[in-house]
Amino acid sequence: MDILVFNSGSSSLKYILYRWNEKTILAKGIVERVTMPGSIITHEVIGRQKVDKARDCPTHREAVDLIIEMLTGEDSGVIEDIRQISAVGHRVVHGGEKFNKSVIIDDTALKTFKELSELAPLHNPPNIIGIEAAKEVLPEVIHVAIMDTAWHQTMSDYTYIYPLPYSWYEDYAIRKYGFHGTSLLYVAKRASVLLGNDPFDTNLVLAHLGNGVSFNAVKNGISLDTSMGFTPLEGAVMGTRAGDHDAAIDIYMMEKLGITPKEMNAVLNKQSGLLGITGKYIDRRDIQEAAEKGNTRSKLAIEIETYRGKKYIGAYMAALCGKVDAIVFTAGVGEMSPIIRRKMTDGLDNFGIIMDDKKNSLSKTRNAETDISAEETNTKIFVIPTDEELVMVEDTVALLEGRYDIHTNFTYSFQNPDYRNKLREEAFERELINNPELANIKARIEC
């Protein structure tokens, strides 16, 4: 059974083709500059050279066509016919209060996603475009939507209701929704496995650190609270998003600069965060390099991001009444930046969170789960590479087979202590050739 997964952005279309029976990725890639001149696809097949191919894709329909061509092509292909594809899973950022789990996309679901576009104008429209394009090219197969917001539908009203006129919630659905749910679900379940715990007897603080950043308090295996809110703008400092700040500043500066709400929204989402502080950089590697060379604003950006991240960790520890089994770092920065992890946990020793600096400095891999805790810590510190695509594949297959349910009533394959990701294991073995010490920090499953 071959499952195709799409993650559609406004000018990009990421994909993975997964062979369920063999539990392996056949191919993955991305079409960039969709709707713009100079579109290009980067296509990867395990055991082959990466292929780049330029072809203009004026719409996502042409991008889907190009992906299918690459998947079935004589030189680039991994399947002979698109009829081998059993189903297609789609990332949908915002499911509102309508969905607490993944769903098969019918006309009603698609209509709801369109209605929710007002809540996620930067995300849902491209997601919908990708769905409609894929349904045109692959009309005979089941299409499934996997929502970023679904994981957080377990939050209580006292965590998701804002102290604003209550009628805004009733009439306009103004509330905290939270995002990054697919990633957070994966690492929460994996952390429970590593701890040897029942997932519903596990408390965690999760830190999804990428260009977008969110923290998540997990109580007894379900989402209690999260840093992102009505939109992905709320919360921690991010690559280009402002995160938490006094809303009166926005009104004040709109008057000062004479800009519209739409223009201010662009400033807050695309010109703020680390970019706003440094004036130049988004990538943490560039910021760290500049800081090491004495750039004061890059140093400041690191301090601001990690200080605010530490506050979220502390706040969520309090929300969990001090019972935290593990702090988990994930996503690109969380997986690859020792300095960010170090500074976000620095000084938390009094709370029983103690990092081993050597283990932390070694942990720069996307191919293995690592334990960077000191021996004397009361709370484990894990780095768990996320796998959103696997969650999407499993939800899609389970819906196809009629056995899917909300995550509290559903068990994923990666919750089995014997679960293995063969591709990551092979890549990790290659990493060990040049860095054998990595073997010493690979997380072990507690008995």
Show Cβ contacts of residue 141 under 8 Å, excluding neighbours closer than 6 positions: 85, 86, 87, 88
Show Cβ contacts of residue 351 under 8 Å, excluding neighbours closer than 6 positions: 314, 317, 322, 379
pLDDT at 50: 86
Q: Whose CA is closest to 340, among 316, 361, 369?
A: 361
Is 339 contained in some domain? yes
On whether both 186 and 82 belong to a single domain, the answer is no
The token duo for 436 is 């054998």
Per DSSP bridges, beta strands 213-219 and 222-226 are antiparallel
On whether both 379 and 252 belong to a single domain, the answer is yes
On whether both 281 and 345 belong to a single domain, the answer is yes
| Domain end residue (candidates: 96, 131, 147) | 147
Q: Where are the beta strands (DSSP E) in 296-352?
A: 326-330
Q: What is the CATH number of the domain that holds 230?
A: 3.30.420.40
On whether both 133 and 220 belong to a single domain, the answer is no
Show Cβ contacts of residue 186 under 8 Å, excluding neighbours closer than 6 positions: 384, 386, 387, 388, 390, 391, 414
325-340: b (≥16 Cβ within 10 Å) or e: bbbbbbbbbbbbbbbb
Is 447 contained in some domain? no
Any idea what DSSP says for residue 355?
B
Average pLDDT along the chain, 447 residues, taken 10 residues at a time: 88 90 90 90 87 92 92 91 93 89 94 85 83 90 94 97 98 94 97 96 97 96 97 94 96 98 93 96 94 97 98 97 96 95 95 96 95 95 94 95 94 94 86 94 88
On whether both 237 and 313 belong to a single domain, the answer is yes
Question: Could you tell me the CA-to-CA distances from 294 to 164, 261, 278 in Å, in that order?
Answer: 43, 36, 13
Separation between Cα atoms, residue 374 and residue 230, nearest integer Å: 37
Is 164 contained in some domain? no
Residue 262's CB is within 10 A of a number of other CB atoms, namely 8
Torsion of CA 172, 177, 180, 186, to 10 degrees: -140
pLDDT at 447: 67
Phi-psi group of 309: left, alpha or beta (phi > 0 → left; psi -120 to 50 → alpha; rest → beta): alpha
Residue 343 near residue 306, CB atoms below 8 Å: yes
Is 409 contained in some domain? no
Active-site option among 52, 81, 148, 349: 148
Is 18 contained in some domain? yes
On whether both 229 and 101 belong to a single domain, the answer is no
Kindly write down the DSSP assignment for every residue of 356-404, as one continuous string.
-HHHHHH---SSS-EE-B-TT-SSEEEE----HHHHHHHHHHHHHHT--
Separation between Cα atoms, residue 94 and residue 225, nearest integer Å: 17
| pLDDT tens digit sequence for 325-359 | 999 999 989 999 999 999 999 999 999 999 999 99
On whether both 190 and 141 belong to a single domain, the answer is no
CA triple 22-26-31, angle to 5 deg: 150
**Whose structure tokens read 């952390």?**
191
On whether both 233 and 379 belong to a single domain, the answer is yes
Phi-psi group of 330: left, alpha or beta (phi > 0 → left; psi -120 to 50 → alpha; rest → beta): beta
On whether both 106 and 186 belong to a single domain, the answer is no
Separation between Cα atoms, residue 112 and residue 95, nearest integer Å: 8
| Domain end residue (candidates: 343, 363, 385) | 385
pLDDT at 204: 98
225 carries an active-site annotation: no
On whether both 122 and 216 belong to a single domain, the answer is no
Is 20 contained in some domain? yes
Phi-psi group of 269: left, alpha or beta (phi > 0 → left; psi -120 to 50 → alpha; rest → beta): alpha
* Amino acid letter for position 386: T
The count of domains in the chain is 2
- pTM of the shown model: 0.93
What element of type H or E holds 149?
none
Separation between Cα atoms, residue 345 and residue 356, nearest integer Å: 11
Per DSSP bridges, beta strands 204-209 and 326-330 are parallel
Is 439 contained in some domain? no
Show Cβ contacts of residue 357 under 8 Å, excluding neighbours closer than 6 positions: 342
Is 405 contained in some domain? no
On whether both 203 and 137 belong to a single domain, the answer is no
Whole domain around residue 22: which residue ranges? Answer: 2-147
| Domain end residue (candidates: 328, 355, 385) | 385
On whether both 233 and 377 belong to a single domain, the answer is yes
